[in-house]
Amino acid sequence: VSTFDITKIRNDFPILNQTINSQTLTYLDSGATTQKPQCVIDTTAQFYAAQNANVHRGRHTLSEQATYRYEQVRDKAAEFFGINSNEIVWTKGATEAINLVANGLKNQIKASDTIIITPIEHHANIVPWQVLSQQTGAKLAILPLNDDATFDIPACCEFIKQHKPKLLAISQASNALGNITNLAPLIASAKAVGALVLVDGAQGAMHLKANLSTLNCDFYVFSAHKMLGPTGLGGLYGRYEQLNALTPYQTGGEMIQTVTLTHSTYRDAPAKFESGTPNIAGVLGFGAALEYINALNHPALIEYEQTLFNYAANRLQQIDGITLFSDLKHNIGTLCFNYKDEHPYDLATLLDGYGVALRSGHHCTQPLMAHLGVNGTLRASLAFYNNHTDVDNFIDALQKCIALLD
Protein backbone atom coordinates (compact mmCIF):
# COMPACT_ATOMS: atom_id res chain seq x y z
CA VAL A 1 0.00 0.00 0.00
CA SER A 2 1.72 3.13 -1.21
CA THR A 3 0.26 5.46 1.43
CA PHE A 4 1.25 3.17 4.27
CA ASP A 5 5.01 3.27 4.79
CA ILE A 6 5.66 0.29 7.07
CA THR A 7 9.42 0.92 7.26
CA LYS A 8 8.84 4.43 8.54
CA ILE A 9 6.18 3.19 10.95
CA ARG A 10 8.43 0.49 12.40
CA ASN A 11 11.12 3.11 13.02
CA ASP A 12 8.65 4.97 15.23
CA PHE A 13 8.55 1.97 17.62
CA PRO A 14 12.05 1.64 19.12
CA ILE A 15 11.28 -1.61 20.97
CA LEU A 16 10.84 -3.49 17.68
CA ASN A 17 14.47 -2.96 16.78
CA GLN A 18 16.06 -5.43 19.16
CA THR A 19 16.90 -9.09 19.63
CA ILE A 20 15.32 -11.44 22.18
CA ASN A 21 17.18 -14.67 22.94
CA SER A 22 19.63 -13.64 20.20
CA GLN A 23 16.82 -13.62 17.62
CA THR A 24 15.03 -10.71 15.97
CA LEU A 25 12.02 -9.78 18.10
CA THR A 26 8.75 -10.86 16.51
CA TYR A 27 6.12 -9.14 18.62
CA LEU A 28 2.70 -10.77 18.14
CA ASP A 29 1.12 -9.89 21.47
CA SER A 30 -0.52 -6.54 20.75
CA GLY A 31 -3.81 -7.94 22.07
CA ALA A 32 -2.19 -7.92 25.52
CA THR A 33 -0.63 -4.50 25.07
CA THR A 34 0.46 -2.50 22.06
CA GLN A 35 3.97 -1.13 21.70
CA LYS A 36 4.56 2.60 22.12
CA PRO A 37 5.77 5.01 19.45
CA GLN A 38 8.66 7.33 20.33
CA CYS A 39 6.32 10.34 20.62
CA VAL A 40 4.44 8.66 23.49
CA ILE A 41 7.70 7.79 25.28
CA ASP A 42 9.00 11.35 24.77
CA THR A 43 5.80 13.02 25.94
CA THR A 44 5.71 10.99 29.15
CA ALA A 45 9.41 11.58 29.86
CA GLN A 46 9.09 15.27 29.03
CA PHE A 47 6.33 15.66 31.60
CA TYR A 48 8.52 14.31 34.41
CA ALA A 49 11.63 16.09 33.15
CA ALA A 50 10.20 19.57 32.71
CA GLN A 51 6.50 19.87 33.45
CA ASN A 52 5.71 17.78 36.53
CA ALA A 53 3.05 19.27 38.82
CA ASN A 54 -0.29 18.15 40.15
CA VAL A 55 -3.48 19.05 38.28
CA HIS A 56 -6.60 20.93 39.35
CA ARG A 57 -4.93 22.20 42.48
CA GLY A 58 -2.17 24.76 42.28
CA ARG A 59 -2.32 28.28 40.98
CA HIS A 60 1.36 28.22 40.03
CA THR A 61 2.37 28.11 36.39
CA LEU A 62 3.47 24.46 36.22
CA SER A 63 0.26 23.27 37.84
CA GLU A 64 -1.93 25.37 35.56
CA GLN A 65 -0.07 24.12 32.50
CA ALA A 66 -0.36 20.50 33.67
CA THR A 67 -4.12 20.97 34.19
CA TYR A 68 -4.50 22.57 30.78
CA ARG A 69 -2.60 19.76 29.00
CA TYR A 70 -4.42 17.07 30.97
CA GLU A 71 -7.85 18.49 30.08
CA GLN A 72 -6.76 18.98 26.48
CA VAL A 73 -6.31 15.20 26.16
CA ARG A 74 -9.83 14.67 27.46
CA ASP A 75 -10.99 16.93 24.59
CA LYS A 76 -8.83 14.92 22.14
CA ALA A 77 -10.26 11.61 23.36
CA ALA A 78 -13.80 13.01 23.14
CA GLU A 79 -13.14 14.10 19.56
CA PHE A 80 -11.63 10.68 18.73
CA PHE A 81 -14.80 8.92 19.92
CA GLY A 82 -17.27 11.56 18.64
CA ILE A 83 -18.63 12.53 22.08
CA ASN A 84 -18.47 15.42 24.59
CA SER A 85 -15.47 16.00 26.87
CA ASN A 86 -17.55 15.79 30.05
CA GLU A 87 -18.58 12.25 29.07
CA ILE A 88 -15.06 10.84 29.53
CA VAL A 89 -13.73 9.61 32.87
CA TRP A 90 -10.08 8.58 33.22
CA THR A 91 -9.59 5.23 34.92
CA LYS A 92 -6.64 2.90 35.30
CA GLY A 93 -7.90 0.64 32.53
CA ALA A 94 -10.91 -1.04 30.98
CA THR A 95 -11.20 -3.23 34.08
CA GLU A 96 -11.60 -0.28 36.41
CA ALA A 97 -14.02 1.39 34.01
CA ILE A 98 -16.35 -1.65 34.00
CA ASN A 99 -16.10 -1.92 37.78
CA LEU A 100 -16.95 1.77 38.04
CA VAL A 101 -20.16 1.23 36.06
CA ALA A 102 -21.15 -2.03 37.80
CA ASN A 103 -20.64 -0.46 41.22
CA GLY A 104 -22.25 2.78 40.16
CA LEU A 105 -25.44 1.00 39.07
CA LYS A 106 -25.94 -0.73 42.43
CA ASN A 107 -28.77 1.60 43.42
CA GLN A 108 -30.50 1.34 40.04
CA ILE A 109 -30.59 -2.46 39.63
CA LYS A 110 -33.37 -4.42 41.35
CA ALA A 111 -33.83 -8.12 42.12
CA SER A 112 -36.40 -8.37 39.33
CA ASP A 113 -33.90 -7.07 36.71
CA THR A 114 -31.87 -9.08 34.20
CA ILE A 115 -28.32 -8.35 33.06
CA ILE A 116 -27.17 -9.98 29.82
CA ILE A 117 -23.53 -10.85 29.23
CA THR A 118 -22.01 -13.12 26.58
CA PRO A 119 -19.76 -16.21 26.66
CA ILE A 120 -16.99 -14.47 24.70
CA GLU A 121 -16.34 -11.77 27.31
CA HIS A 122 -13.02 -11.11 29.02
CA HIS A 123 -13.25 -11.87 32.76
CA ALA A 124 -13.25 -8.09 33.29
CA ASN A 125 -16.67 -7.96 31.62
CA ILE A 126 -18.04 -10.98 33.50
CA VAL A 127 -16.96 -10.86 37.14
CA PRO A 128 -18.18 -7.30 37.94
CA TRP A 129 -21.67 -8.26 36.64
CA GLN A 130 -21.65 -11.46 38.69
CA VAL A 131 -20.86 -9.38 41.77
CA LEU A 132 -23.59 -6.86 40.91
CA SER A 133 -26.09 -9.66 40.45
CA GLN A 134 -25.08 -11.19 43.82
CA GLN A 135 -25.43 -7.81 45.51
CA THR A 136 -28.80 -6.92 44.00
CA GLY A 137 -30.41 -10.30 43.33
CA ALA A 138 -30.65 -9.45 39.62
CA LYS A 139 -30.58 -12.37 37.21
CA LEU A 140 -27.60 -12.92 34.89
CA ALA A 141 -28.60 -14.21 31.44
CA ILE A 142 -26.09 -15.41 28.83
CA LEU A 143 -26.47 -14.54 25.16
CA PRO A 144 -26.46 -17.70 23.00
CA LEU A 145 -23.28 -18.48 21.04
CA ASN A 146 -22.82 -20.77 18.03
CA ASP A 147 -20.47 -23.75 18.39
CA ASP A 148 -17.82 -21.88 16.38
CA ALA A 149 -18.02 -18.93 18.83
CA THR A 150 -19.83 -16.63 16.38
CA PHE A 151 -23.18 -15.02 17.19
CA ASP A 152 -26.42 -15.94 15.41
CA ILE A 153 -27.56 -12.33 15.34
CA PRO A 154 -31.34 -12.89 14.75
CA ALA A 155 -31.37 -15.50 17.56
CA CYS A 156 -29.52 -13.09 19.87
CA CYS A 157 -31.92 -10.25 19.05
CA GLU A 158 -34.84 -12.55 19.88
CA PHE A 159 -33.13 -13.54 23.15
CA ILE A 160 -32.75 -9.87 24.12
CA LYS A 161 -36.38 -9.18 23.20
CA GLN A 162 -37.59 -12.04 25.39
CA HIS A 163 -35.36 -11.34 28.41
CA LYS A 164 -35.97 -7.55 28.43
CA PRO A 165 -32.69 -6.84 30.24
CA LYS A 166 -31.91 -3.76 32.27
CA LEU A 167 -28.37 -3.91 30.87
CA LEU A 168 -26.47 -5.61 28.05
CA ALA A 169 -22.66 -5.88 28.49
CA ILE A 170 -20.84 -6.99 25.35
CA SER A 171 -17.45 -6.60 23.72
CA GLN A 172 -16.81 -4.87 20.42
CA ALA A 173 -14.15 -7.47 19.58
CA SER A 174 -13.06 -10.62 21.40
CA ASN A 175 -9.60 -10.49 22.92
CA ALA A 176 -9.09 -14.26 22.59
CA LEU A 177 -10.37 -14.68 19.02
CA GLY A 178 -10.19 -11.20 17.54
CA ASN A 179 -13.75 -11.69 16.23
CA ILE A 180 -15.59 -8.43 15.62
CA THR A 181 -19.09 -8.34 17.09
CA ASN A 182 -21.90 -7.13 14.83
CA LEU A 183 -23.04 -4.69 17.49
CA ALA A 184 -25.61 -2.54 15.68
CA PRO A 185 -28.56 -5.01 15.63
CA LEU A 186 -27.81 -6.17 19.18
CA ILE A 187 -27.73 -2.61 20.52
CA ALA A 188 -30.92 -1.78 18.59
CA SER A 189 -32.67 -4.78 20.21
CA ALA A 190 -31.44 -3.77 23.66
CA LYS A 191 -32.56 -0.18 23.15
CA ALA A 192 -35.97 -1.37 21.93
CA VAL A 193 -36.59 -2.94 25.36
CA GLY A 194 -35.16 0.06 27.25
CA ALA A 195 -31.87 -1.57 28.28
CA LEU A 196 -28.63 0.21 29.04
CA VAL A 197 -25.74 -1.00 26.88
CA LEU A 198 -22.09 -1.20 27.94
CA VAL A 199 -19.59 -1.96 25.18
CA ASP A 200 -16.16 -3.28 26.10
CA GLY A 201 -13.96 -1.54 23.54
CA ALA A 202 -10.62 -2.69 24.99
CA GLN A 203 -9.77 -4.57 21.78
CA GLY A 204 -11.85 -2.63 19.29
CA ALA A 205 -11.07 0.99 20.15
CA MET A 206 -7.98 1.40 18.00
CA HIS A 207 -8.78 -0.96 15.13
CA LEU A 208 -12.42 -0.08 14.68
CA LYS A 209 -12.36 3.62 15.61
CA ALA A 210 -15.96 3.64 16.83
CA ASN A 211 -18.02 6.79 16.65
CA LEU A 212 -19.85 6.46 19.93
CA SER A 213 -22.54 8.97 19.09
CA THR A 214 -23.77 6.68 16.30
CA LEU A 215 -23.00 3.37 18.06
CA ASN A 216 -25.78 4.32 20.51
CA CYS A 217 -24.35 2.60 23.58
CA ASP A 218 -24.63 4.16 27.04
CA PHE A 219 -21.17 3.18 28.27
CA TYR A 220 -17.97 2.31 26.42
CA VAL A 221 -14.69 1.32 28.05
CA PHE A 222 -11.17 1.35 26.64
CA SER A 223 -7.55 0.82 27.71
CA ALA A 224 -4.95 3.39 26.65
CA HIS A 225 -2.20 0.78 26.69
CA LYS A 226 -3.93 -1.17 23.90
CA MET A 227 -4.06 2.04 21.83
CA LEU A 228 -0.31 2.83 21.78
CA GLY A 229 -0.59 4.71 25.09
CA PRO A 230 0.95 4.15 28.52
CA THR A 231 -0.07 1.36 30.91
CA GLY A 232 -2.16 2.14 33.98
CA LEU A 233 -4.62 4.28 32.04
CA GLY A 234 -7.99 3.69 30.51
CA GLY A 235 -11.25 5.45 30.14
CA LEU A 236 -14.98 5.29 30.43
CA TYR A 237 -17.42 7.01 28.12
CA GLY A 238 -20.88 7.45 29.60
CA ARG A 239 -23.87 9.11 27.97
CA TYR A 240 -23.94 12.17 30.20
CA GLU A 241 -27.23 11.62 32.00
CA GLN A 242 -26.41 7.94 32.57
CA LEU A 243 -22.87 8.72 33.67
CA ASN A 244 -23.93 11.40 36.11
CA ALA A 245 -26.59 9.07 37.56
CA LEU A 246 -23.95 6.53 38.68
CA THR A 247 -23.01 6.41 42.36
CA PRO A 248 -19.29 7.17 42.77
CA TYR A 249 -17.22 4.07 43.25
CA GLN A 250 -14.31 5.75 45.00
CA THR A 251 -14.50 8.89 47.12
CA GLY A 252 -11.95 11.36 48.43
CA GLY A 253 -10.26 14.55 47.25
CA GLU A 254 -11.10 16.32 43.99
CA MET A 255 -14.50 14.66 43.50
CA ILE A 256 -16.19 16.71 46.22
CA GLN A 257 -18.00 20.02 46.25
CA THR A 258 -18.09 20.56 50.01
CA VAL A 259 -16.89 18.50 52.96
CA THR A 260 -17.75 18.90 56.63
CA LEU A 261 -16.73 16.35 59.22
CA THR A 262 -20.09 14.64 58.95
CA HIS A 263 -21.29 15.22 55.39
CA SER A 264 -20.00 15.75 51.83
CA THR A 265 -21.51 16.76 48.53
CA TYR A 266 -20.11 15.61 45.20
CA ARG A 267 -19.26 17.34 41.96
CA ASP A 268 -20.88 16.36 38.69
CA ALA A 269 -19.34 13.87 36.26
CA PRO A 270 -16.60 13.43 35.22
CA ALA A 271 -14.94 14.97 38.34
CA LYS A 272 -17.23 12.90 40.58
CA PHE A 273 -15.42 9.73 39.44
CA GLU A 274 -11.85 11.03 39.48
CA SER A 275 -10.90 11.18 43.14
CA GLY A 276 -7.22 11.45 44.02
CA THR A 277 -4.22 12.38 41.90
CA PRO A 278 -4.70 10.94 38.42
CA ASN A 279 -2.18 9.35 36.08
CA ILE A 280 -1.18 12.71 34.58
CA ALA A 281 1.89 11.50 32.67
CA GLY A 282 -0.19 8.61 31.33
CA VAL A 283 -2.95 10.91 30.12
CA LEU A 284 -0.43 13.19 28.36
CA GLY A 285 1.24 10.15 26.79
CA PHE A 286 -2.16 8.96 25.61
CA GLY A 287 -2.70 12.38 24.02
CA ALA A 288 0.44 11.77 21.96
CA ALA A 289 -0.84 8.28 21.08
CA LEU A 290 -4.14 9.71 19.84
CA GLU A 291 -2.30 12.27 17.73
CA TYR A 292 -0.19 9.47 16.28
CA ILE A 293 -3.26 7.37 15.46
CA ASN A 294 -5.06 10.37 13.96
CA ALA A 295 -2.11 11.08 11.68
CA LEU A 296 -2.18 7.55 10.22
CA ASN A 297 -4.07 6.95 7.02
CA HIS A 298 -6.81 4.82 8.57
CA PRO A 299 -8.27 3.21 5.40
CA ALA A 300 -4.74 2.33 4.21
CA LEU A 301 -3.91 0.97 7.65
CA ILE A 302 -7.00 -1.27 7.68
CA GLU A 303 -6.16 -2.55 4.20
CA TYR A 304 -2.56 -3.24 5.25
CA GLU A 305 -3.62 -5.02 8.47
CA GLN A 306 -6.16 -7.11 6.60
CA THR A 307 -3.65 -8.17 3.94
CA LEU A 308 -1.12 -9.13 6.62
CA PHE A 309 -3.78 -10.99 8.60
CA ASN A 310 -4.92 -12.97 5.55
CA TYR A 311 -1.31 -13.83 4.75
CA ALA A 312 -0.70 -15.05 8.33
CA ALA A 313 -4.00 -17.01 8.42
CA ASN A 314 -3.19 -18.70 5.09
CA ARG A 315 0.30 -19.69 6.15
CA LEU A 316 -0.93 -21.00 9.51
CA GLN A 317 -3.73 -23.02 7.92
CA GLN A 318 -1.23 -24.76 5.67
CA ILE A 319 0.38 -26.43 8.69
CA ASP A 320 -1.06 -29.89 9.30
CA GLY A 321 -2.58 -30.33 12.76
CA ILE A 322 -3.47 -26.67 13.37
CA THR A 323 -6.97 -25.91 14.67
CA LEU A 324 -7.96 -22.28 14.17
CA PHE A 325 -10.72 -20.88 16.39
CA SER A 326 -10.93 -17.30 15.05
CA ASP A 327 -13.54 -16.03 12.61
CA LEU A 328 -11.26 -15.07 9.71
CA LYS A 329 -13.86 -12.91 7.94
CA HIS A 330 -14.58 -10.44 10.75
CA ASN A 331 -11.41 -10.03 12.71
CA ILE A 332 -9.18 -7.30 14.15
CA GLY A 333 -6.03 -9.32 13.37
CA THR A 334 -5.89 -12.12 15.93
CA LEU A 335 -5.22 -15.81 15.29
CA CYS A 336 -6.39 -18.09 18.08
CA PHE A 337 -5.15 -21.65 17.51
CA ASN A 338 -3.81 -24.92 18.85
CA TYR A 339 -1.49 -27.51 17.38
CA LYS A 340 -2.92 -31.04 17.79
CA ASP A 341 -3.26 -31.58 21.54
CA GLU A 342 0.07 -29.95 22.42
CA HIS A 343 -0.06 -27.72 25.46
CA PRO A 344 -0.07 -24.06 24.35
CA TYR A 345 2.42 -23.12 27.11
CA ASP A 346 4.99 -25.56 25.70
CA LEU A 347 4.73 -24.11 22.22
CA ALA A 348 4.79 -20.52 23.51
CA THR A 349 7.94 -21.27 25.51
CA LEU A 350 9.63 -22.87 22.50
CA LEU A 351 8.56 -19.97 20.27
CA ASP A 352 10.06 -17.49 22.74
CA GLY A 353 13.40 -19.19 22.08
CA TYR A 354 13.05 -17.95 18.50
CA GLY A 355 12.21 -14.41 19.62
CA VAL A 356 8.50 -14.85 18.91
CA ALA A 357 6.30 -13.20 21.56
CA LEU A 358 2.75 -14.47 21.62
CA ARG A 359 0.21 -15.30 24.27
CA SER A 360 -0.77 -18.73 25.55
CA GLY A 361 -3.41 -19.81 28.04
CA HIS A 362 -7.06 -18.96 28.58
CA HIS A 363 -6.63 -15.24 27.77
CA CYS A 364 -8.87 -14.29 30.73
CA THR A 365 -11.76 -15.95 28.89
CA GLN A 366 -12.31 -19.24 30.72
CA PRO A 367 -16.02 -19.48 29.74
CA LEU A 368 -15.08 -19.08 26.07
CA MET A 369 -12.37 -21.74 26.38
CA ALA A 370 -14.95 -24.07 27.98
CA HIS A 371 -17.31 -23.33 25.07
CA LEU A 372 -14.56 -24.25 22.60
CA GLY A 373 -13.77 -27.39 24.61
CA VAL A 374 -10.14 -26.46 25.34
CA ASN A 375 -8.19 -25.36 28.41
CA GLY A 376 -6.25 -22.78 26.50
CA THR A 377 -4.88 -21.75 23.12
CA LEU A 378 -2.08 -19.87 21.48
CA ARG A 379 -2.87 -16.34 20.33
CA ALA A 380 -0.94 -14.35 17.77
CA SER A 381 -2.30 -10.79 17.69
CA LEU A 382 -1.11 -8.52 14.92
CA ALA A 383 -0.90 -4.75 14.81
CA PHE A 384 -0.24 -2.29 11.98
CA TYR A 385 3.47 -2.14 12.92
CA ASN A 386 3.95 -5.84 12.14
CA ASN A 387 5.26 -6.80 8.71
CA HIS A 388 5.49 -9.86 6.45
CA THR A 389 8.88 -10.75 7.96
CA ASP A 390 7.20 -11.03 11.37
CA VAL A 391 4.68 -13.48 9.92
CA ASP A 392 7.42 -15.47 8.16
CA ASN A 393 9.54 -15.58 11.35
CA PHE A 394 6.53 -16.76 13.32
CA ILE A 395 5.54 -19.52 10.88
CA ASP A 396 9.13 -20.69 10.38
CA ALA A 397 9.69 -20.81 14.15
CA LEU A 398 6.39 -22.63 14.66
CA GLN A 399 7.38 -25.25 12.11
CA LYS A 400 10.72 -25.77 13.87
CA CYS A 401 8.97 -26.09 17.26
CA ILE A 402 6.49 -28.60 15.83
CA ALA A 403 9.37 -30.63 14.41
CA LEU A 404 10.87 -30.75 17.92
CA LEU A 405 7.59 -31.92 19.45
CA ASP A 406 6.50 -34.47 16.84
The contact set with ligand PMP (CB under 6 A) reads 93-95, 122, 124-125, 171, 175, 200, 202-203, 223, 234, 364
CB of 208 to ligand PMP, least distance (A): 12
CB of 144 to ligand PMP, least distance (A): 20
Active site residue 364: yes
- Our CB check for ligand PMP shows the closer of 181 and 386 to be 181
CB of 218 to ligand PMP, least distance (A): 17
DSSP 39: H
**Rounded distance between C-alpha atoms, residue 90 and residue 278, angstroms:** 8
- Our CB check for ligand PMP shows the closer of 338 and 381 to be 381
- Our CB check for ligand PMP shows the closer of 4 and 80 to be 80
- Our CB check for ligand PMP shows the closer of 200 and 218 to be 200
Q: Kind of pairing, strands 26-27 and 114-117?
A: unpaired
Instruction: List all residues 6 or more positions away from 270 whose beta carbon is below 8 Å from its beta carbon.
Output: 74, 86, 87, 88, 89, 90, 243
Which residue in 156, 217, 336, 364 is the catalytic one?
A: 364
Contacts of residues 92-95 at CB distance under 8 Å and 24 or more positions apart, as own/partner, are 92/232, 92/233, 92/234, 92/279, 93/223, 93/224, 93/225, 93/232, 93/233, 93/234, 94/124, 94/200, 94/201, 94/202, 94/221, 94/222, 94/223, 94/234, 95/124, 95/234
Residue nearest to ligand PMP (CB): 93
User: Treating both helix axes as pointing N-terminal to C-terminal, what angle do 280-295 and 61-81 enclose, rounded to 10 degrees?
Assistant: 40
CB of 285 to ligand PMP, least distance (A): 15
Active site residues: 364
